[in-house]
Structure 1
Amino acid sequence: MYDLCVGLGYHCESTHQIRRITGDSRAHFFDWLDLELASVVEAVETDFRHVLRPGLTDPFDGGSCAIDRGSDIRFFHEFRAEAPHGRLTQTDIDAQHPSVAAKFAHLAGRWRTMTASGARVLYVHHDAFDEADPGDMRHLAATLAAQHPGHRFDLLWLRRTPPAAGFLPDGVTWDTVPLVPDRWQGDDRAWDRTLATRLGRPGTPRPTG
C-alpha cells in the first residue's frame, strides 16, 4: 500500500519505531530531531531554507543539545561535545556546523526527490505531548499538498490520548500510543498495533519492560 513510511517528529521514539517496524534505516530529514509541529510545518513551507543558517545555532539545555534559532529545532545527536564533561560549547557547534548543515542539505534534497516521485508515503506525526488538534493536522496535510502538488501521501497522527472531536480530511487518521516511563523507545505492542497494521506488516510484538 505504501512505498515509504516517513516520520515528522516529535522526537526519537517515532524514528526508532518506524525503523523497527519497516526494517528501513534510510535517513529522512526529521529523523532523530526534537521539534514541535510548527517547526515541521515551517520547514516544509520554506523548503528547509530556515534550517541551520550560519550563526543561529547555540548550546541549549546546559549544553545537552544544540538549538537552531532559525527553526526552533533541537539537535541532540548531530553535534559532538569535545570536552570530557560531555556538554556542547559554542566552539563545538561552530566547528561542526558546516558538516551538519551539509548533511541536512543532502536530506532536504532526498525529501524533494521523494515528494516529486510517484512513491506513496505514509507520514507519521507523533504528537508526544498531545499538543495538536484536528485543525493543526488539517494545516499540516494542506501544507504538504500545497508544497508538493501531485504527491501521494496519507498522514497518521499519533497521540497519548484521543483528540478532541474535529474534522479530519480523507487520508488523515489518528490513533494512540501510550507513554512508557523510563523507556524512550515507546510501547512496541502499541506501535505494532497501529503502524505495522497500516503498513501491512504485522511485526513481532515485544514486551515493553
Structure 2
Amino acid sequence: MYDVCVGLGYHCESTYQLRRVTGVERAHFFDWLDLDLVAVRETVAADFANVLRPGLCEPFSDGACVRDRGSNIRFFHDFRAPEGAPLTSAIIAEQFDAVRSKFDHLAARWRALTASRSRVLYVHQDAFDESGAPDLAALHSLLRTRYPAHDFDLLWLRRTPPTDAEALPPGVLWGTVPLDPGRWEGDDAAWDAALAPLDIPRAPGADRRA
C-alpha cells in the first residue's frame, strides 16, 4: 500500500483529482503549479534551488500568472492581484518573500518525505502527451539516485496511451485520463478508473471501480 500520493503537475487538474480521490489535502511542492516534466526533473535535480530566485519572476500571460524564469514554473495562485487587475512587477516584488517562504517550507516537507519510511506514489499528469518513456525513465532514475533509500513508484497519466510503454522501467506505471473539455478539474470517472487498481489512501466513499 502507498502511504502518500504526491502530484508532479502538469497543472491544477492533477492536484484537484488526487485530493478528491484520497481525501488528503496536505500540500506538496508541485501542487497547483503549471509546469512540464522537464521543469519537475530540473527542480528535483537542483534540490529546489532553481525556484523563486530573486529577480527572475515576471508577469506572464498578460498578468494572469507569474513565470519564474529560473525554473519555467508558472504560478497562477500564489501571487495575488486586486480583483480584475493583472499581476505586475511591483505586486510580485511586494509578495515575493512570502511566496518564497511558503515554497521553502514545501521543499523542506519534500526532503522529509523522501527521507522517511513512507511509501510514495508520485503522479505526473502528462496533460498534453508531450513526454515519452525515456523522459519518465529519466525522472525515475533521478529520484532513485537522489533518494536511494526512498520507497516509491511513479505513475504516468496521459490523455492517450503511450506508444513506447514497453520501454518503461519497473516502478513506472501508466494510465490514461482523457481531456474533459471546459472542465479544468478533469474527468472524475476517468481518474477513478486510472487510480482504481492502485492501493492508495482513499476518501470515505471514494469510487474504486476499475
Q: TM-score, normalised by structure 1?
A: 0.95
CA distance in 1, matches of 2:156, 2:141: 14
Deviation at 1:21, TM superposition (A): 0.5
Unaligned runs of 5+ in 1: none
Per-residue CA distance 1:139-181 (angstroms, 9 max, x = gap): 0100111111110000100000011124111111111001000
CA distance in 2, matches of 1:199, 1:183: 27
The RMSD of aligned alpha carbons is 1.2
Per-residue CA distance 1:110-131 (angstroms, 9 max, x = gap): 0000000010000000000000
1:118 is matched with 117
CA distance in 1, matches of 2:126, 2:161: 11
Deviation at 1:194, TM superposition (A): 1.3
Secondary structure of the equivalent of 2:5?
strand
Percent identity, aligned pairs only? 59
2:162 is matched with 163
Secondary structure of the equivalent of 2:91?
helix
1:99 is matched with 98
2:207 is matched with 204
1:173 is matched with 173
Structure possessing the higher relative contact order (Cα contacts under 8 Å, 6 or more residues apart) = 2
1:18 is matched with 18
**2:38 alignment partner AA:** A
Secondary structure of the equivalent of 2:120?
strand
Unaligned runs of 5+ in 2: none
Deviation at 1:204, TM superposition (A): 3.0
Deviation at 1:199, TM superposition (A): 2.8
**1:29 alignment partner AA:** F
Q: TM-score, normalised by structure 2?
A: 0.94
Per-residue CA distance 1:23-44 (angstroms, 9 max, x = gap): 0000000000000110000010
CA distance in 2, matches of 1:107, 1:10: 18
**1:112 alignment partner AA:** R
CA distance in 1, matches of 2:42, 2:145: 13
Secondary structure of the equivalent of 2:30?
coil
Deviation at 1:203, TM superposition (A): 1.9
**2:110 alignment partner AA:** W
